[in-house]
């Protein structure tokens, strides 16, 4: 019969408590020198050893046979406490007993000295749950406690303990236990239990436990009992703990890296549909990118990359298809997203925007404007125009750009559309346009919100090798056509060409409706309906 590690190996001596060396030393010294306090506050995140240490301390102060500050574990008192039968050690959970009556009862009990043993130890877990009235009832006892009474308050939220109580306690802050210490402890126990566990599994479990020894041991328990008698590998641990298999990150990375916006967004959709937390997914993906980055910088150094051999093969492949600059750009975008997600009500939209930024570098305004400026200067040089040297009148503008005002107050650098400087694309064939229409979502995703809303309502159509975009009404037609000084149409054109990979000849038109403006080109006039292949 397999017995849970966490119960079986509850520390019986102070040295078995890991990761809290300073606290352990102080408490042990108090016991050795018999300078024991009457009120302790143990604070820190869950599973860091607060109640374990509280019980150990309760044992140590009562043990008949103390050895170098450690309880013997063999005397009657030690045995009783270990079995939970001691009248001198009272454990209570404030989460369920937080009322003033419980505390009054304790206060009353406290006046009777212990019939056996030296100290009555009250261990109050989740102490922040005690009501303020109940805290008040406790205050007097904490101020003048009988010499034989020790209170140990344990809490994960010290900020919720009243200051009047705090000021009467010796406070100990329990830190998160490092991954190394957790792995070390797991190894010791596995050796005693003769469990066969691979390094990768240890590291993975310790990472999941996030600083909590209790969590680490119960996770290890789960894995070991699932694969009892077998070697516990990294892959098996992943399976048991239902952790995200890195395969999904590999897939996501490949979509992003090949600028397949649609597939990348689809994957995010799946992640949401599976009920996964986006924030967790993104931070795990950052870690995945970090591994690719390390490999792409230094392919032979795998020491800092903690994955299964199979995952390593994939990572290597991926690192080979990219370069560090690009990965760093991905990490930057994902880290920004990760920070914003914490407070964002609509995590999904933010995530989708970031995915588009990942897939389409040109949608990043800063880079776009910069490359436009650079390209424009190149064009000027090519055509023999020497750009004016920066001067007071023609220098960097407020925004750090190269535009400047001329004497007549006009901007010397006019807007140069991306189309003017982009290399000439091949003209799109009818098949290309059909394909483009089937990927219309990619076009939508590449547009800024306002234009996207207008284009979403419009209908793409093809006739005689030309793309027609039929706006829903005059208003939307005008918005697309003239919005932002004509830039919206230009942006639409660029996005369409980008998605298609070719120069697409398109006509923007409008459906005839009630609000039809007779000055606008009429869809019906441009093409004959029987030739139109419409796409819904
Ligand atoms: Zn003992």
Q: What is the pLDDT of residues 490-521, one digit of tens each?
A: 888 888 888 888 888 888 887 765 444 555 55
At a CB cut-off of 8 Å and minimum separation 6, what does 355 contact? 256, 261, 264, 265, 268
Distance 70 CA to ligand 1 centre (A): 8
Q: Is the pLDDT of residue 151 over 90?
A: yes
Q: 117: phi > 0 → left, psi -120 to 50 → alpha, else beta; which?
A: left
Distance 274 CA to ligand 1 centre (A): 53
Distance 32 CA to ligand 1 centre (A): 14
Residue 124 and residue 154 in contact, taking contact as beta carbons nearer than 8 Å: yes
pLDDT for res 45:
85
- What pTM was estimated for this model as a whole? 0.50
Residue 441 in tokens = 């979502």
Distance 127 CA to ligand 1 centre (A): 28
Binning pLDDT at 50, 70 and 90, where does residue 376 land?
low
Domains of the chain, earliest start first: 20-173 (3.40.50.300), 179-240 (1.10.8.60), 247-362 (1.20.272.10), 430-534 (3.30.300.180)
At a CB cut-off of 8 Å and minimum separation 6, what does 483 contact? 450, 451, 489
Question: What angle, 0 to 180 degrees and rounded to 10, lies between the N-to-C axes of helices 430-438 and 487-500?
Answer: 100
CA distance 160 to 131: 10
Distance 121 CA to ligand 1 centre (A): 15
pLDDT for res 408:
38
Distance 62 CA to ligand 1 centre (A): 7
Q: Is the pLDDT of residue 523 over 80?
A: no
Q: Is the pLDDT of residue 111 over 50?
A: yes
Report the share of the chain in percent with pLDDT over 70: 81
Q: What is the full DSSP assignment across 149-199?
A: EEEEEEES-GGGS-HHHHTTSEEEEPPPPPHHHHHHHHHHHHHHHT--B-H
Residue 297 in tokens = 């910088």
Q: CB-based burial of residue 404 (10 Å sphere; 0-12 exposed, 13-18 middle, 19+ buried)?
A: middle
Q: What is the pLDDT of residues 164-218, one digit of tens each?
A: 999 999 999 998 888 899 999 999 999 999 999 999 899 889 887 878 898 899 8
Q: Is the pLDDT of residue 310 over 70?
A: no
> How many CB atoms are located within 10 Å of the residue 415 CB?
13
Q: How many CA atoms lie within 13 A of 302 on its CB side?
A: 12
The mean pLDDT of the chain is: 80
Distance 476 CA to ligand 1 centre (A): 84
Distance 90 CA to ligand 1 centre (A): 17
Distance 79 CA to ligand 1 centre (A): 7
Q: What is the pLDDT of residues 256-307, one digit of tens each?
A: 998 899 999 999 998 888 667 788 889 889 989 999 999 998 888 777 776 6
> How many CB atoms are located within 10 Å of the residue 206 CB?
26
CA distance 509 to 514: 15
> How many CB atoms are located within 10 Å of the residue 371 CB?
15
Binning pLDDT at 50, 70 and 90, where does residue 242 land?
low
């Amino acid at each position: 019969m397999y017995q849970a590690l966490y119960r079986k190996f509850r520390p019986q001596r102070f040295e078995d408590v890991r990761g809290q060396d300073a606290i352990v030393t102080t408490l042990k010294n108090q016991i050795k020198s018999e300078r024991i306090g009457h009120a302790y506050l143990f604070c820190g995140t869950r599973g860091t050893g607060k109640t374990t240490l509280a019980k150990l301390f309760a044992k140590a102060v009562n043990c008949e046979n103390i050895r170098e500050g450690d309880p013997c574990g063999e005397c009657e008192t030690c045995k009783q406490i270990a079995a939970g039968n001691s009248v001198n050690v009272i454990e209570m959970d404030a989460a369920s007993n937080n009322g003033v009556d419980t505390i009054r009862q304790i206060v009353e009990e406290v006046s009777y000295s212990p019939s056996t043993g030296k100290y009555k130890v009250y261990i109050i877990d989740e102490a922040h749950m005690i009501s303020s009235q109940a805290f008040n009832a406790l205050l007097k006892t904490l101020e003048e406690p009988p010499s034989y009474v020790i209170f140990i308050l344990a809490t994960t939220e010290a900020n919720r303990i009243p200051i009047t109580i705090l000021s009467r306690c010796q406070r100990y802050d329990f830190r998160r236990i490092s991954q190394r210490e957790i792995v070390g402890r797991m190894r010791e126990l596995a050796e005693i239990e003769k469990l066969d566990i691979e390094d990768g599994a240890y590291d993975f479990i310790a990472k999941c436990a996030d600083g909590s020894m209790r969590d680490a041991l119960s996770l290890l328990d789960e894995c070991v009992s699932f694969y009892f008698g077998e070697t516990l590998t990294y892959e098996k641990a992943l399976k048991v703990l239902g952790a995200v298999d890195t395969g999904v990150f590999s897939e996501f990375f490949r979509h992003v890296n090949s600028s397949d916006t649609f597939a990348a967004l689809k994957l995010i959709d799946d992640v949401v549909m599976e009920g996964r937390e986006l924030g967790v997914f993104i931070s795990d993906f950052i870690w995945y990118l970090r591994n690719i980055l390390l490999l792409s910088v230094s392919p032979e150094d795998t020491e800092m990359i903690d994955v299964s051999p199979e995952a390593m093969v994939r990572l290597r492949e991926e690192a080979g298809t990219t370069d560090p600059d690009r990965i760093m750009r991905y990490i930057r975008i994902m880290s920004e997203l990760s920070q914003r997600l914490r407070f964002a009500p609509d995590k999904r939209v933010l995530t989708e925007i970031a995915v588009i930024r990942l897939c389409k570098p040109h949608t990043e305004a800063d880079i776009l404007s910069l490359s436009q400026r650079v390209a424009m200067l190149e064009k000027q040089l090519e055509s023999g125009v020497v750009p004016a040297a920066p001067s007071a009148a023609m220098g960097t503008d407020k925004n750090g750009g190269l535009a400047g005002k001329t004497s007549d107050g006009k901007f010397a650098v006019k807007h140069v559309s991306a189309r003017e400087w982009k290399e000439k694309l091949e003209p799109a064939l009818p098949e290309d346009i059909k394909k483009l229409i089937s990927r219309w979502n990619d076009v939508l995703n590449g547009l800024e919100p306002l234009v996207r809303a207008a284009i979403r309502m419009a209908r793409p159509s093809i006739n005689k090798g030309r793309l027609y975009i039929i706006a829903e009404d005059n208003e939307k037609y005008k918005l697309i056509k003239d919005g932002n000084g004509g830039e919206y149409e230009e942006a639409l054109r660029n996005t369409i060409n980008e998605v298609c990979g070719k120069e697409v000849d398109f006509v923007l038109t409008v459906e005839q409706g009630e609000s039809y403006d007779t000055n606008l080109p009429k869809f019906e006039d441009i093409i004959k309906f029987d030739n139109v292949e419409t796409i819904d």
